[in-house]
Amino acid sequence: MGRPRAFDEATAVASAAALFASRAYDGISVDDLVNHLGVHRNSLYQTFGSKRGLYLRALRWHLDEQVRPALRRNATFDNGLDFLLLAATERAPADPEVATEITRILAEFDEALTAPATSALLGDHLRARLSR
């Protein structure tokens, strides 16, 4: 019961993931999220608890719905590693939960490919990101 949500939670998480993949965590304000998602400030806090809560939800969604499926199918990642890359370099050192997620997914990369292949893949995507 109660008033129904005016936004789709899954859509909001996906949209947040796209935004978090584009700039550093501290470079994205809650106002930016509000504008980009079209969801009002209070709804975000009620649904996700905090900016960090939304970030973690978005990161896990990115890994579960974009990275892992591509890894299983041995498909290409296209731009689909940007969030992972940014989280690994910028956020993991500052947030233990992010570090845990990144460490886990990289272990899965090592298992599916090899450690050198994982490093090469990360390096390639880092460089590709510079040309975009």
Residue pointed to by tokens 């050198």: 116
Give CA–CA dist 81/77, Å, rounded: 6
Give CA–CA dist 5/2, Å, rounded: 9
CA atoms within 13 A on the CB side of 9: 10
- Toward DNA, which CB reaches closer, 6 or 130? 6
In angstroms, the Cα distances linking 12 to 22, 129, 132 are 16, 24, 24
Give CA–CA dist 16/58, Å, rounded: 6
Contacts of 38 (CB under 8 A, 6+ apart): 7
Residue 113 in the binding site for its own copies (CB under 8 A):
no
Beta-strand ranges (E) seen in 49-131 are none
Residue 85 touches which of its own copies, DNA, none (CB < 5 to 8 A by kind)?
A: its own copies
Per-residue string for binding with its own copies, 38-67, x by CB under 8 A?
------------------------------
Stretch that binds its own copies, among 5-13, 35-43, 49-57, 88-96 (CB under 8 A): 88-96
Residues that bind DNA (CB under 7 A): 1-7, 26, 28-32, 39-43, 45-47, 50-52
Residue 106 in the binding site for its own copies (CB under 8 A):
yes
Per-residue string for binding with its own copies, 5-24, x by CB under 8 A?
-----------------xxx
Interacting residue with its own copies among 35, 46, 50, 89 (CB under 8 A): 89
Residue 126 in the binding site for its own copies (CB under 8 A):
yes
**CB of residue 81 to DNA, shortest distance in Å:** 24
